[in-house]
Amino acid sequence: MPERGRTTRDRGDRTGRTTGEAATEPGAAGIPGGPGTASGTGTTGAAPANPPAAEPATPPGTAALRRTGLLVTLVLGGLTATPPLAMDMYLPSLPEVTRSLHAPAATVQLTLTACLAGMALGQLVVGPMSDRWGRRRPLLVGLLVYVVATALCAVAPSVGLLVAFRLAQGLAGAAGIVIARAVVRDLYDGVAMARFFSTLMLISGVAPIVAPLIGGQILRITDWRGVFLVLTVVGIALTAVVWRRLPETLAPADRHSGGVGDALRSMRALLADRAFAGYVLTGGFAFAALFAYISASPFVIQEIYGASPQTFSLLFGVNSIGLVVVGQVNGRVLVGRVRLDKVLAVGLGTVTLAATALLLMSTGVFGETGLWPVAAALFVLMSAMGLAMPNTQALALMRTRHAAGSASALLGTTSFLIGAVASPLVGVAGEHTAVPMAVVQLASALVAVTCFVALCRPWKTRADSTQGLGEER
């Protein structure tokens, strides 16, 4: 990036800190492309006293957007809520879809896999596009296609077409996920960014709480197709809000003019950063444990333990409340006081313990267990995600400024692809055992811990005494 663009960007980043953050907050010094560096060499990139006046530091409207914290939180929260809305509202109807379309459970679960794979691949495309053309245009195009694909899901006559439409829905919905993270990186830095990611969980976490509840109530008055009609209306409303209220956040000076080759080189440079790759893989396998729960729990709770769709929706909502509450404790209490790597380690350890307990219960080590012990273990696992997920994203994005869209795409693509692989594995032994779900969750948690320890090497970081951030030696 030219020196001119770097200095004005540094100036904009400092003004974007949330209220109460000191302007002298250190970046990740010595980290390639990290905050507060010049060309990734570890040299502090301080803005000159008189920056060039001809080039604005930020796009018009961005400074005002930072000041309207509630507005940006609601808009970006709505965008990150797209995946749980698209998947979780549909979960209570999975058994009904198997009967309606005369398809086996494993095939119907492919509708989840297709949506997840689409979101993964879509992020890989939309992320670099947003680095080149800005955030706003790719986001609006993606939302419009998402609305059309969701409407087509509502009229799908066969499971094959439903899988295809869900793939298109995921491809288009990826725009909201990847660009929301990139916008956060445009607006905030350091601790402010870590706190904002935790705040986003409060908004996006409402979606998995209310989505299955709404889905269960919709099934009282209509069938599974009505769920997709509601999702279509939600998509239209979100598109309208983004059109009217979300300005461009990526300054023209910070955009990449290259094509596909430059995008691939940028991603290769990001993955060459060992710690960045470690956080990406850690988050991806943690997400696989979460998605194993999402895809298997409708059958485990309803078919094995005999719960109604409404009871399943209630339990799912309670688990999501746990995730949101722990996420808020992370953002409001822990961030800035405890090094993020330590908080992440606690989250991964708790997920591993909960998955181990689920495997022991599902294999009968504790004898015959009812619904409530299993529900308690799932609650602990979900709640611990409130420590794991926002911190992996923040720690990864702290290491890059020059290509936030591409970095966000790598984060999302890895998570969704690994989750898409895990999804069908939970049904390999049929609908009458929870063992596959527990095995996938435990294996994913163990791999996440391994990637964290082997690649991120948290013992080689030192904490900043006031910010709680790790800095590599």
Packing angle between helix 159-187 and helix 69-80, nearest 10 degrees?
150
Indicate if the pLDDT at residue 54 is higher than 60.
no
pLDDT, residue 65, reads 53
Residue 25 has pLDDT above 80, yes or no: no
Q: How much is the average pLDDT of 50-73?
A: 51
Neighbouring CB atoms inside 10 A of 454's CB total 12
| CA within 13 Å, CB half, 378 | 27
Residue 114: the pLDDT is 87
Residue 246 has pLDDT above 90, yes or no: no
Characterise 42 by phi-psi region: left (phi > 0), alpha (psi -120 to 50), beta (else).
left
Question: Binning pLDDT at 50, 70 and 90, where does residue 259 land?
Answer: low
Examine the pLDDT at 61 and tell me if it is beyond 60.
no
| Residue pLDDT, tens place only, 181-205 | 888 878 877 677 777 777 776 666 6
| For the chain, percent of residues with pLDDT exceeding 70 | 77
Return the pLDDT at 310.
Answer: 77
What pLDDT digit, counting tens, does each position of 62-84 carry?
554 554 466 777 788 888 887 77
* Residue 165 reports pLDDT greater than 70: yes
Task: Compute the average pLDDT of residues 359-370.
Answer: 83
Return the pLDDT at 472: 39
- What is the tens place of the pLDDT at every residue in 439-468? 999 999 999 999 999 998 877 654 433 333
Q: What is the pLDDT of residues 415-429, one digit of tens each?
A: 878 887 887 787 665
Minimum mean pLDDT range among 31-35, 59-63, 292-296: 31-35
pLDDT given for residue 351 in this prediction: 95
270-297 per-position pLDDT tens digit: 888 898 999 999 999 998 998 888 778 8
* pLDDT, tens only, 389-414: 888 988 888 877 667 778 888 887 88
pLDDT, residue 120, reads 78
For 13-24, the pLDDT digits (tens) are 444 443 333 333
The pLDDT score that the predictor gives to residue 36 is 34
Predicted confidence at residue 401, as pLDDT, reads 66
The lowest-confidence range among 108-117, 122-131, 254-263 is 254-263
- Asked if residue 223 has pLDDT above 90, the reply is no
In this structure, what DSSP letter does residue 471 have? Answer: E
Mean pLDDT lowest for which of 32-46, 50-64, 398-412? 32-46
pLDDT band for position 383 (cuts 50, 70, 90): very high
Highest mean pLDDT range out of 119-133, 270-284, 355-369?
270-284
More confident residue, 81 or 359: 359
Q: What is the pLDDT of residue 177?
A: 83
Residue 417, Cα to own-chain centre: how many angstroms?
12
pLDDT bracket for residue 230 (50, 70, 90): confident
What is the per-residue burial (b if ≥16 Cβ within 10 Å, else e) of 315-348? Answer: bbbebbbbbbebbbbbbeebbbeebbbbbbbbbb
Q: What angle, rounded to 10 degrees, do the helices at 136-154 and 105-133 form?
A: 160
How far apart CA 317 and CA 212 sit, in angstroms, is 7
Q: What is the mean pLDDT of residues 242-253?
A: 82
- What is the overall mean pLDDT for the chain? 76
Residues 369 and 165: their CA atoms lie apart, in Å, by 39
